[in-house]
Amino acid sequence: MRACVLTWGCQLNEHRSEEIEGLLQEAGYELVERPEEADVVILNTCMVRQRAEDKVIGRLGELWHLKKQRPLIIGVGGCMAQGRKEELLKYPAVDFVFGTANASEIPELIERAMRGEKALSLPFPDRIERLPVRRKSPFKAYVTIAEGCSHSCAYCIVPFVRGPMRSRPMPEILDELQGLAEAGYKEVTLLGQNVDAYGLDLRDGTNFAVLLREVARIPIAWVRFTSSHPGYMTEETIAAIAEGENICEHVHLAVQSGSDRVLRAMRRGYTRERFLGIVERLRAAIPGVNITTDIIVGFPGETEEDFEETLSLIREARFGTVYAAMYSPRPYTAAARLPDDVPPEEKKRRLEAVLEEARKIALEINRSKVGRTEEILVEGYLESKGLYFGKTRDMRTVLLPGDESMVGRFITVRFERATPGAIYAQAVKEPVA
């Protein structure tokens, strides 16, 4: 039988889909890219924003039309499944539903669906499953170091659908990384909802800085991590990033708002001043560090003054990239009980203002690099541009002409011109292994 896995959401979800594919492959399924070619379709979903849910519902409608034409088993899993539960089984397209902590049950759920059962399995997410992995790339890999979150920000559904913070034992992580090094992987990204809170639940002295120092001993050229929470970004962690030769100079540090009043309402656990202090210490310790962030506009009660403080923080922090979104109420969260009182048109205006400010700063930063030479890891071909693309150590996108032999290799390039989203370059050396 043939199976197709569709994914929405964060890098943790992307990696979970790699695990689902590994599980299905081990169970004897042939993996295909398109639902039209599959006998089984798995939707691995996101629930962070309403827009993500709407996309899944739209795709279920498309799959229902396909299912009416021929036999097709459809399973929905992940965050949306954990949050919406029985609601999803009411959709005629859906045969079974699983959550965020029981992907290992998928082969059994498929068998039940083939017998005509509508199956639902949603255990509370309180463990980390270890599953086989079918990695998408032969040179870049994800490694989950922790799942869940115990922080409970007012707007965020993650603690409900992903469960509390659970850290993997450090020897298990290091063993996986060593295996990737031996397999020739050049870049690894360490994943967690709050990656810098790693180890705090283990209560054995392990923490993120200790892990990073051990990871620095493993022969993988570039090590990244995401996402960090300002509340857990310690001096020890900053020092570990600075000292680790293979730890890349990129820190994704979600601020969400520049207003102390809104930060309190969001339950973020830090002030504007403290956040900017962390930015300052990161830049002092790690020359050239690229700090990126997340912003939410239109949180309940956000005034124009609050929003202006967010814009001024963006100008002061000078983020390399800003990922911005309009607030949408999420079920089971504290903010869902507040009036969603910023009108949609005002949210859109604020979103565009944030993006415009971010683009302006990104262009200035990227233009300052024109004329320099730097090493990048080439990741693939961008058909829309007719160019190859890659990333610098500090996570900036580079576009350049070339050929297939460059993909998966480090190459030295000269930066020639810049846009807010990318730097255009030319290769100045042959690709190296």
Specify whether the CB–CB gap between 44 and 17 falls below 8 A.
yes
Per-residue confidence band for 203, with pLDDT thresholds at 50, 70 and 90: confident
Residue 431 has pLDDT above 90, yes or no: no
Q: How many CB atoms lie within 10 A of CB 254?
A: 19
Give the pLDDT of residue 24.
98
pLDDT above 70 coverage of the chain, percent = 99
Give the pLDDT of residue 345.
98
pLDDT above 90 coverage of the chain, percent = 97
Task: Output DSSP code: residue 168.
Answer: P
Specify whether the CB–CB gap between 224 and 186 falls below 8 A.
no
Specify whether the CB–CB gap between 91 and 103 falls below 8 A.
no
Residue 341 has pLDDT above 80, yes or no: yes
CA distances from 220 to 177, 198, 402, 431 (A): 8, 20, 25, 18
pLDDT in tens, 325-335: 999 999 999 99
Residue 433 has pLDDT above 70, yes or no: no
Per-residue confidence band for 127, with pLDDT thresholds at 50, 70 and 90: confident
Mean of the pLDDT values across residues 319-328?
A: 97
Tokens of 212: 């990073």
- How high does pLDDT run on average in the chain? 96
Give the pLDDT of residue 71.
95
Helix (H) / strand (E) containing 349: helix 344-367
Residue 176 has pLDDT above 70, yes or no: yes
Mean of the pLDDT values across residues 293-317?
A: 98
Q: How far apart are CA 263 and CA 256, in angstroms?
A: 8
pLDDT in tens, 239-263: 999 999 999 999 999 999 999 999 9
Which of 278, 273, 193, 287 has its CA nearest to residue 234? Answer: 278
pLDDT in tens, 405-429: 999 999 999 999 999 999 999 999 7
Per-residue confidence band for 308, with pLDDT thresholds at 50, 70 and 90: very high
pLDDT in tens, 262-279: 999 999 999 999 999 999
Q: What domains can be seen in the chain, in order of their start residue? A: 2-121 (3.40.50.12160), 140-367 (3.80.30.20), 373-427 (2.40.50.140)
